[in-house]
Structure 1
């Protein structure tokens, strides 16, 4: 792991401490100025720390005081950020892979010494899994990554150590699969890509063991989405298409729409416009099906609105802004304001599409909205999209509205 990754992980850790203390970035900066008797910390500086651009070495004692955490914990985190051998992030921000058992995580112990569980215990776990999914609607990966992986570890331990009937075991495996998916998703959002892939693979193994084809397809598609966004575009295409096959005939309309959307995105990232457009059509056809099957809980968010967002993202990537801008404008006008991360991400696509449409003033306005929404989020996705938007604006630096945004926030490009 390089120094940039370590600093970013330190930033996620620091942002988590701030949110746990109930402070915004601006409030934290003001408190640091008050206790230190200086006026040298701004919200922008706190943002730099949390994005991993800088490590606040000189401010560790004041941060410990304001955030009510032991100074030695912050010092340990700073050692990790500097790359000191043997140093680790403290608390839930420690390496997530270390929370999981080594070897085959689904290998049951030969002689179970744990309690016997029934469907009620699995139903309780299912409720907690869905609670994590709902929390992901309004929180970022850095907020949820620790709780999600602790839940995954506990579920794996239960499967390995408890006794249960065959039906209960299959239901427990299904919940481990669903936990693997949401844990992988939040870890990816926090920038923990290796941990995310580890979780996805555990979930995929559990879903296959349970004989749940649609869930296996969801996990394979989730990993394909991560690969497509992180330099493995051709592998992402292969895996996204394999996810459709993996899901089998048991997948309902919502699941098929989701899987085809991921295929469309994978082809888009690989620069294949026609296959991408065909997959978008298949996604819409799937959701237009006359079938009235209730989707699984993990597909609760799939809707016509979300398909339109993916359409617009594909059109933006393929440099078709005249198709992307109206779609995004319409969807954003109806979108839930509590979903700050999704709003920031979707507005980032709108900003890029507006720049491609040679509307730099409007693009700058959207860029500012993205930055305002992203400020208090511990999401690697929104941080990266902010950088994409700012880079897209750079050719228009002579436009006053663009110059103002680049002057105020150009430092984010160095994060």
Structure 2
């Protein structure tokens, strides 16, 4: 059998932070800079899924040389500079001969290793084929193709029981039947990296498409993650990464269950993550688990539990030094107070959240918080006022949230607009509510979220008596004819 053309990882070449790229970011947060990258890509007809996580990986030196799509975007953003000026390594030093072949054909990127159809099995050498850029999955942020291949192979060949061959494929989780069971002797840093990448991909797909279509497929990498934990690792640093990655993956899968209405499943996943955090003394993971538990408790009608969980999260998170994290946790607490109809408690928590947010981002902000910007703050505040029955105030914040949201977060745009439609309907503005509802229905071809569908159903019920108002009948008819997405099991 011919050997793979993908070179092995090079442990003798340590990562070096990309300080040049960090200087170019300047005072902007990673999320703000990522938004500029996406905007620049649209300007030149490219499509990249850059987010704060990708910027962090570049600055940490994990991505030594970007793929060609990113190269074109970066050179467009900083005219007159070369990749070396931006702090990246020369492509030839990263990929060797393969890179030189690519540079001769700059409109392609490394594809799969295949055999010529005329080659008999085992009789010929493998060859590289190249595919156009538009075949690249636009939501795949693992843009170092060499590293991606290494991690995929490591996870497949050394992974735990029921790891599918596609478990870390382009979408980040299994889409096909599981591979035969393969026992794990010891997990490695490559396994940990593959696990962390699965978490990133699930989050990106949820941001774009919502949870309903993702939840069941995300269960396979979660099982694989705990198989890796059972196998153990020789180095403590790898063990710590595996525990943290498994806990974050449990939270991500829990969120998919939560957003698709499977509250019992979500509670179980969050509890698993919390147990993992406490076993290992991982305060960041514990704060994240409590944060999501508070959100779930609010949605499940247990507001007092939401307050307690949010306060517990704040106690754990305080030493971590992230004002933005503390701001989000204060918002979780505010949601609980709103559910208890305690307006004073809610207003105090909202004031803390706003003051903490105003302190800006720091290097201590967790990676998973890339979604938390001004739009999310406005959206969560809108939910608080809606729960308290202050419809005009809720509508103002929901409108601002939808206007401020980055286009990448399609699900959140739909969520905030659905919140706006409901607040307008309950506040006696049926025509505006119907217009907002129609905007949400137009997004449902891209987004599958039981939460959003449930909100729209409630809005439709409120608008029924106003069928003759301008635009309301159009919304009601389109809502009635729109098929529901995946329903909770």
Cα deviation for residue 192 of structure 1 reads 2.1
Asked if 1:154 is matched to 2:154, the reply is: no
Cα deviation for residue 223 of structure 1 reads 1.8
Aligned with residue 308 of structure 1, among 374, 378, 381: 378
- Map Cα deviations across residues 17-39 of structure 1 (whole Å, 9 max, x no partner): xxxxxxxxxxxxxxxxxxxxxxx
Tell me the residue number matched to 1:86: none
Tell me the residue number matched to 1:138: 208
Q: Give yes or no for contact 1:215–1:247 (8 Å, CA) kept in 2.
A: no
Paired residues for 1:297-376 under 5 Å: 297-375=367-445
Q: d(CA) in 2 for partners of 1:399 and 1:184?
A: 40
Cα deviation for residue 412 of structure 1 reads 7.6
Q: d(CA) in 1 for partners of 2:418 and 2:427?
A: 14
Report which stretch shifted further, 215-224 or 281-290: 281-290
Tell me the residue number matched to 2:269: 199
Q: d(CA) in 2 for partners of 1:157 and 1:260?
A: 35
5+ residue gaps, structure 2, are 1-166, 168-173, 175-182
User: Structure 1 pair 153/407, CA: closer, same or farther in 2 (3 Å)?
Assistant: same
User: Structure 1 pair 232/173, CA: closer, same or farther in 2 (3 Å)?
Assistant: same
Tell me the residue number matched to 1:125: 195
Report which stretch shifted further, 328-337 or 178-187: 328-337
Tell me the residue number matched to 1:36: none
Report which stretch shifted further, 174-183 or 319-328: 319-328
How many residue pairs get matched? 305
Asked if 1:235 is matched to 2:298, the reply is: no
Cα deviation for residue 138 of structure 1 reads 0.6
Q: d(CA) in 1 for partners of 2:320 and 2:403?
A: 35
Tell me the residue number matched to 1:106: none
Structure with greater helix percent: 1
Aligned with residue 349 of structure 2, among 264, 279, 284: 279
Tell me the residue number matched to 1:172: 242
Q: Give yes or no for contact 1:218–1:259 (8 Å, CA) kept in 2.
A: no
Report the structure number with the largest CA radius of gyration: 2
Cα deviation for residue 183 of structure 1 reads 0.6
Q: d(CA) in 2 for partners of 1:381 and 1:302?
A: 19
Q: Give yes or no for contact 1:221–1:239 (8 Å, CA) kept in 2.
A: yes
- Map Cα deviations across residues 137-160 of structure 1 (whole Å, 9 max, x no partner): 112212221332211111101111
Tell me the residue number matched to 1:244: 314
Tell me the residue number matched to 1:10: none
User: Structure 1 pair 412/118, CA: closer, same or farther in 2 (3 Å)?
Assistant: closer
User: Structure 1 pair 140/292, CA: closer, same or farther in 2 (3 Å)?
Assistant: closer
User: Structure 1 pair 408/261, CA: closer, same or farther in 2 (3 Å)?
Assistant: same
Q: Tell me the TM-score normalized by structure 2.
A: 0.57
Q: Give yes or no for contact 1:267–1:276 (8 Å, CA) kept in 2.
A: yes
Q: d(CA) in 2 for partners of 1:272 and 1:323?
A: 17
Cα deviation for residue 350 of structure 1 reads 0.9
Aligned with residue 257 of structure 1, among 299, 323, 327: 327
5+ residue gaps, structure 1, are 1-91, 93-98, 100-112
- Map Cα deviations across residues 200-246 of structure 1 (whole Å, 9 max, x no partner): 11111111222121321211221221121122222222222222223
Runs of 4+ aligned structure 1 residues displaced above 4 Å come to 410-415
Report SS of the residue matched to 2:186: coil
Structure with the bigger RCO (C-alpha within 8 Å, sep 6+) is 1
Q: Give yes or no for contact 1:214–1:248 (8 Å, CA) kept in 2.
A: no
Tell me the residue number matched to 2:117: none
Q: d(CA) in 2 for partners of 1:127 and 1:406?
A: 41
Q: Give yes or no for contact 1:173–1:209 (8 Å, CA) kept in 2.
A: no
Q: d(CA) in 1 for partners of 2:411 and 2:310?
A: 24
Q: Tell me the TM-score normalized by structure 1.
A: 0.67
Report which stretch shifted further, 214-223 or 373-382: 373-382
